[in-house]
Amino acid sequence: MHNVLDIKGLRIEATSYPPGEAPRNVVLVNNVSVAVQQGRVLGLIGESGAGKSTIGLSAMAYGRGGVRLTGGHILLNGREIREASAGDLRILRGREVTYVAQSAAAAFNPAKRLMEQVIEASLLHGVMGRAEAEARAVDLFDKLGLPDPANFGNRYPHQVSGGQLQRAMTAMALCPKPDLVIFDEPTTALDVTTQIDVLVAIKAAIRDTGVAALYITHDLAVVAQVADDILVLRGGKKVEYGPTDQIINHPQEDYTRALVSVRSIDHVEKTEAPAVLSVSGITARYRGTNFDVLKNVSVDLPAGQTLAIVGESGSGKSTLARVITGLLPAAKGDLTFAGRKLSPDLASRSKDDLREVQMIYQMADTAMNPRQTVGTIIGRPLEFYFGLKGEAKRQRIQELLDDIEMGAGFIDRFPAELSGGQKQRVCIARALAAKPKLIICDEVTSALDPLVADGILKLLLNLQARESVAYLFITHDLATVKAIADKIAVMYRGQVVRYGSKTDVLTPPFDDYTDLLLSSVPEMQIGWLEKVLAGRKMESAGN
Amino acid sequence: MHPVVKLVTQRLALGLILLIAVSALIFFGVAALPGDAAQAMLGQSATPESLANLREKMGLNEPILWRYGHWLLGFATGDLGVSLSNGQDIAKSVGQRLGNTIFLAFWAAVIAVPLAITLGLIAARYNGRWPDKLISGVTLATISLPEFVAGYIVMYVLAVKFHLFPSMSMVFPGMGIFERLNAIILPVIVLVMVVLAHMMRMTRAAILNVMESAYIETAELKGLSPINVIWKHAFPNAIAPVVNVVMLNLAYLVVGVVVVEVVFVYPGMGQFLVDHVTKRDMPVVQACGMIFAAVYIGLNILADVVSILANPRLRHPK
């Protein structure tokens, strides 16, 4: 078996342009060496900024933005490509190496039919004729478990689901019979239940075609299912490199151990308490549609506790948040908050109603005005709700920054100067500033790396213990739920299918959907994928 | 009903309503001016008796709404009334002028639109490098030059100095197509210079906007050449904004070319309109106003329809 890809002492640099400072050179990847043999899968794992995508793309000698491959060797099929000319690279890209992007929904051209895009590289490089390429594409669609393979390619990207697009992208990568495929977080954007199907499809396709693969992800449990070897990266440097079994079961480095044991927060549910929020019989639909997104939803959230709303995308979780905040007035049903009835419509709520229900969003990035400083962002609710000004305001901002474990130095910083975790902390401080009784957390840890997400969850739990604020915690991630929830409501297609205390909901016997959801969460265990598939009772909604 | 059919029908209906609104504005605006058609016709020789007679004859004593309806109905059936200044059928004289204007606009568009889009694609391909700067600089210069200055410069160089083309763009019925084309070359050059920059810059901006998308990276990683990436993957997604600007410029070529027509003594709509405004020939002015409005609204609807058709989400619903 020869090495399809052989990277030796790779060094990658870029120029960064920090606001208000002179441009400076940053080293993204330093002295990394890996090799992938034919028919083998190498997993690249690490947090964002670890350089895993950058290394992955370097296998095609491609640098995003101003990224430069400044040192070392990249041997593809024994040929040095690090300094190859643009023309030479065009010949091997899409022919010898292909790429599967994280978000297939964005990576497909919306204006072209899927078939046209899937066979494009094969035709461009003269690998095969149109008829043969189309036949191969249909064959791959079939292998990857796509519905109606013969006609699947006639559709446009917007006409198929996210899980299907991700598989179509895999077909696109495999169509020109490459020697190496780079999978860059191919299942990260998918629901857990859909993720399994795509994982299985990718794994089988890799096995059947005998292609070599680089599999990039931040989820160690996922990579444990598909990779033969794993390279753990941190800050652009190698932490640990070895066979999957060794990395998962006998990690040598502390950092790897932290990754393996992440999400070990032990949260004991609180005892029943009077409800701060009662949602009863809510039915809601969006304007101009005649489909109920929520059907007769009833849940209670005890004061100072956490109710987790779990479900796949499209299950109505975020719509429920919109109903509670008054952004989408419900068609039927009542909201009782702190003993009084909440008007369904945002415009007719009192200032106190508004103050006591706050929100934190998934994308902290877009939830803050990029042109305001942290101090202005957190100070706004203080001014608006409490009329604080000058020194009093500054002092309170300081207290809030201490609450979120960020120091005084942050008050004059702009969001662009913060890390992902820090941004989310500022959003938490902004919500806390209003002294709310309820904070709605909409997928607040989904966009964060596991260790950072862990920190946010711990912070939320500490704040809850101190301020006795209640959380309505919307998420699709069951590990997060286990870490933070006191009560759980499982939603499926607009309805609550299972509801109760955390222990009750997570204790068998399960209904079919909860079973599917629970069993779909990847476990840090080699061979888990095959085991879980054998025991499945229903298909996921994403198919 | 298919969403495309529905949207297109909506646009057409909206355009019709808009046109009727504009017609009301034109008709009542002109009616609100001091004096009326009878007075304008008789001029100094008006006596109260002759005025009354003429008003009776021309139907000016009827209620204004009735006259508006009559005028609008006439318009719909192709009867634009009679010119006050020379008593000719307006439809006939306007028709000939409109034909000339559209002839000029057509050839200017045939050259300018593909040229602008090609230059836009090239500028986007070499974004920030010298071809981009050269194209942007030159087109910016041509659009910044007032049309009459550009007209006289082109005339001086190409007609007076080198005697390549005629300086006056006289066309008349019965002229051969090649003679006609030869006659309009100079105004076409000036018009192309005027409309090029806007369309080129929009194409460039729209392409660069699309180039940020993830699917452009996908195409690059398939090994497509930069110009193929732009042409096959970026351009189909940039059509809607480009078409809107193209249509605005086409409308300008029909509606806004008065200055160029005057410079080259070209017998088009613009000059015709100006002539009749100075003669206070209101029926002709109204007719020209309506035709301009119809062209403007029509081209904008066309832009909307093309944008709708270019959107695969609307063309192929789930």
Give me chain B's average pLDDT, please.
87
Whether the Cβ atoms of residue A284 and residue A293 lie closer than 8 Å to each other: yes
d(CA A515, CA A534): 13
- Number of domains present in the structure of chain B: 1
The pLDDT of B106-113, averaged and rounded, is: 94
Tell me if A62 and B318 make a contact (CB, 8 A cut-off): no
Tell me the H-state helices in chain B.
Answer: 3-31, 37-42, 48-58, 64-76, 90-125, 130-144, 147-154, 177-210, 214-221, 226-228, 239-255, 258-263, 269-278, 282-310, 312-315
CATH number at residue B242: 1.10.3720.10
Q: Check if A488 contacts B (Cβ < 8 Å).
A: no
Of A437 and B85, more confident: A437
Contacts of A111 in chain B (CB under 8 A): 236-237, 310, 312
User: In terms of C-beta density within 10 A (0-12 exposed, 13-18 middle, 19 or more buried), how is residue B176 classed?
Assistant: exposed
Rounded to a whole number of angstroms, the CA Rg of chain A reads 25
| Helix (H) or strand (E) run with residue A532 in it | helix A528-534
Closest-CA residue of chain B to A175 = B222
Residue B318 predicted with pLDDT over 80 = no
The end-to-end CA distance of chain A, in Å, is: 37
With an 8 Å Cβ cutoff, are A62 and B221 in contact?
yes
Q: Please check whether residue B197 lies inside any domain of the structure.
A: yes
Classify residue B191: in a domain, yes or no. yes
Looking at residue B148, its pLDDT comes to 87
Tokens, residue B149? 């200055």
Q: Looking at the domain assignment, is residue B311 inside a domain?
A: no
Residue B20 lies in a domain: no
Cα of A122 to nearest chain B Cα, Å:
9
CATH architecture of A3-14+25-38+54-212: 3-Layer(aba) Sandwich (3.40)
Q: Does B37 touch chain A (CB under 8 A)?
A: no
Please tell me whether residue B138 adopts helix, strand or coil conformation: helix
Radius of gyration of chain B (CA): 24
Chain B partners within 8 Å of A151 (Cβ)? none
Q: Positive or negative CA dihedral for B185, B187, B193, B198?
A: negative
> Which residues fall within 8 angstroms of residue A160, CB to CB, at 6 or more apart?
A114, A152, A168
Interface of A with B in 65-124 (CB under 8 A): 89-95, 98-99, 101, 103, 106-112, 117, 120-121, 124
Flag the least confident range among A488-492, A527-531, B97-101, B241-245.
A527-531
CA distance A65 to A85: 18
Interface test with chain A among B211, B213, B215, B237, by most A beta carbons within 10 Å: B215
Closest CA to A516 of A325, A320, A350, A310: A310
Q: Do domains A3-14+25-38+54-212 and A275-507 have the same CATH topology?
A: yes
Largest CA distance in chain B: 86
**What is the distance in angstroms between the Cα of B302 and the nearest Cα belonging to chain A?**
20
- Contact A109/B219, CB-based, under 8 Å? yes
Domain assignment present for residue B233? The answer is yes
How far is the CA of A43 from the CAs of A6, A48, A207, A242, in angstroms?
14, 15, 15, 10
B303: distance to nearest CA of chain A, Å? 18
Which chain A residues are within 8 Å of B310, Cβ to Cβ?
Answer: 111
Contact predicate A190/A165, CB 8 Å: no
Closest residue, chain A, to B217 (C-alpha): A107
**Closest chain B residue by Cα to residue A95:** B222
In this prediction, residue A539 carries a pLDDT of 59
The minimal CB distance from B213 to the residues A94, A106, A117 is found for A106
Instruction: Locate the chain A residue with the closest alpha carbon to B236.
Output: A111
User: Is the CB of B215 inside 8 Å of chain A's CB atoms?
Assistant: yes
A62 at interface of B, judged by CB pairs closer than 8 A:
yes
CA–CA separation, A61 vs A92, rounded Å?
Answer: 10
Cross-chain Cβ contact A111/B313 below 8 Å: no
Res B298: pLDDT: 92
Among B286, B280, B272, B283, CA closest to B42: B280
Which has the higher per-residue pLDDT, B50 or B41? B50
* Residue B218 touches partner A, C-beta closer than 8 Å: yes
Question: Do the domain assignments include residue B68?
Answer: no
Query: Considering only alpha carbons, which residue of chain A is nearest residue B311?
Result: A111
Percent of chain B with pLDDT over 70: 100
Instruction: In whole angstroms, give the CA distance from residue A308 to residue A461.
Output: 13
Q: Which of B211, B212, B216, B218 to mutate to test the interface with A (most CBs of A within 10 A)?
A: B218
For residue B54, being part of any structural domain is answered with no
Range of the domain at B148: 98-278
| pLDDT recorded at residue A537 | 59
Q: What are the pLDDT tens digits along chain A (543 aa)?
A: 688 999 999 999 888 776 667 888 888 899 999 999 988 999 999 887 788 889 999 999 998 877 889 988 999 998 899 888 989 999 999 999 999 988 888 899 999 999 999 999 999 999 999 999 999 999 999 988 888 999 999 999 988 888 889 889 999 999 999 999 999 988 877 778 888 888 888 888 888 888 999 999 888 888 889 999 999 999 889 999 999 999 988 889 888 888 877 556 667 778 778 889 999 999 998 877 778 889 999 999 999 999 999 988 778 888 899 999 998 898 888 999 988 888 888 888 999 899 999 999 888 888 899 899 999 999 999 999 999 888 899 999 999 998 888 877 788 888 888 888 889 999 999 999 999 999 999 988 887 877 788 888 989 999 998 888 999 999 888 878 888 899 999 999 889 999 988 888 888 888 888 888 888 888 888 888 888 877 775 655 444
Enumerate residues 6+ apart whose C-beta is below 8 A from B252.
B194, B195
Distance CA B312, CA A116 (A): 14
Contact residues, chain B, for A90 at CB < 8 Å: 223-225
Interface of A with B in 127-186 (CB under 8 A): 155-156, 158-159
B5 at the A interface (CB within 8 A)? no
pTM given for the model: 0.80
Do strands A487-492 and A306-310 pair parallel, antiparallel, or not at all (unpaired)?
A: parallel
Q: What is the dihedral of CA A18, A20, A22, A27, to 10 degrees?
A: -10
| Residue B201: φ, ψ to 5° | -65, -35
CB contact under 8 Å between A110 and B313, yes or no, is yes
Question: What pLDDT shows up at residue A540?
Answer: 54
Looking at CA atoms only, how far is residue A155 from chain B in angstroms? 9
- Taking the CA atoms of residue A158, residue A160, residue A162 and residue A164 in that order, the dihedral angle to the nearest 10 degrees is -140
The answer to whether domain A275-507 has CATH 3.40.50.300 is: yes
- The β-bridge partners of B221 are none
Strand order in the sheet with A229-234: A97-100, A180-184, A212-217, A41-45, A229-234, A237-243
**pLDDT reported for residue A469:** 93
Distance to chain B for A203, nearest Cα, Å = 22
Look at residue B21 in the predicted model and tell me its pLDDT: 94
Q: Identify whether the C-beta of residue B260 lies closer than 8 Å to the C-beta of residue B266.
A: yes
Residue ranges of domains in chain A: 3-14+25-38+54-212, 275-507
CA distances from B218 to A51, A62, A123, B212, B221 (A): 19, 12, 15, 11, 5
Phi-psi group of A466: left, alpha or beta (phi > 0 → left; psi -120 to 50 → alpha; rest → beta): alpha
Alpha-carbon gap: B138 to the closest alpha carbon of chain A (Å): 29
DSSP string of B182-199, one letter each residue: HHHHHHHHHHHHHHHHHH
Q: Which residues of B touch A159 (CB under 8 A)?
A: 316, 318
Task: Give chain A positions within 8 Å (CB) of B214.
Answer: 101, 103, 106-107
Listed residue (A296, A298, A213) closest to A500, CA to CA = A298
Locate the chain A residue with the closest alpha carbon to B232: A112
Alpha-carbon distance of B151 to B165, in angstroms, equals: 13
Q: Is residue B7 part of a domain?
A: no
Q: Which of B167 and A46 is assigned the larger pLDDT?
A: A46
Strands A294-302 and A275-284: antiparallel
